[in-house]
Amino acid sequence: DQAALMYPGDIYDFPRPLLNKNGNNFSFSGLKTAMLRFREKNLENFSSKENAKMQILEEGPVLSSFFQSVVDVLIHKTFKAAETRGLKNISVSGGLAASQKLRSAFEEEAAREGKKLFYPPANLCTDNAAMVTCLAAHRYELEHFDDLTLDAFPNLIS
């Protein structure tokens, strides 16, 4: 978040996956691949530095540009979904919701679109991986297993 706030997000051009595709799906696998290719091409410029401050000065613009592409996709897809479903309120949560850059972008768009925005305090915005792992461990101990035909249903709006 520090780099995202210090540098503009348009210094490097990273893709915005699925931005102009219909539907509310998003995926960042293409973006992660683009970052990997960028790093491979520029390895000598962004090798690990002994001085962390020097490293953030050199890598900051790259990180900010990468993060801006994530923000752009999340903003576009979220507000498009709200518009499609006629929603007036939007809740932002999870690990990325702790980011000041992301919160600012959501606040700007919510004001522009006339939507009400809700998110928990930043210290309560955590990655869900630990919670999912804890539940999986508990289910394992109970020998409660799902077979491979289990289908995912991520939609919370009926």
What is the structure's pLDDT at 74?
Answer: 92
pLDDT above 60 (res 85): yes
What is the structure's pLDDT at 78?
Answer: 93
Separation CA 4–CA 9 (nearest Å): 7
CA distances for 132 relative to 3, 127, 152, angstroms? 29, 10, 14
Separation CA 53–CA 60 (nearest Å): 10
What is the structure's pLDDT at 92?
Answer: 92
Residue pair 95/69 in contact (Cβ under 8 Å)? The answer is no
Give the pLDDT confidence of 131-146 residue by residue, as tens digits: 778 878 888 888 888 7
What is the structure's pLDDT at 155?
Answer: 61
Instruction: Report which of 68, 67, 127 is spatially closest to residue 93, judged by C-alpha positions.
Output: 127
Separation CA 45–CA 68 (nearest Å): 21
Tokens of 98: 């702790």
Q: Residues 69-92: what's their mean pLDDT?
A: 93
Instruction: Report which of 59, 74, 68 is spatially closest to residue 117, judged by C-alpha positions.
Output: 74
Give the pLDDT confidence of 21-63 residue by residue, as tens digits: 888 888 888 888 998 888 888 777 666 556 555 555 578 888 8
Give the pLDDT confidence of 92-131 residue by residue, as tens digits: 988 888 899 999 999 999 999 999 999 998 888 877 777 7
138 vs 82, more confident? 82
- pTM for the whole thing? 0.72
What is the structure's pLDDT at 86?
Answer: 95
| Domain 2-141: CATH architecture, name and number where available | 2-Layer Sandwich (3.30)
What is the structure's pLDDT at 49?
Answer: 57
What is the structure's pLDDT at 114?
Answer: 96
What count of other Cβ atoms lies within 10 Å of the Cβ of residue 63?
19
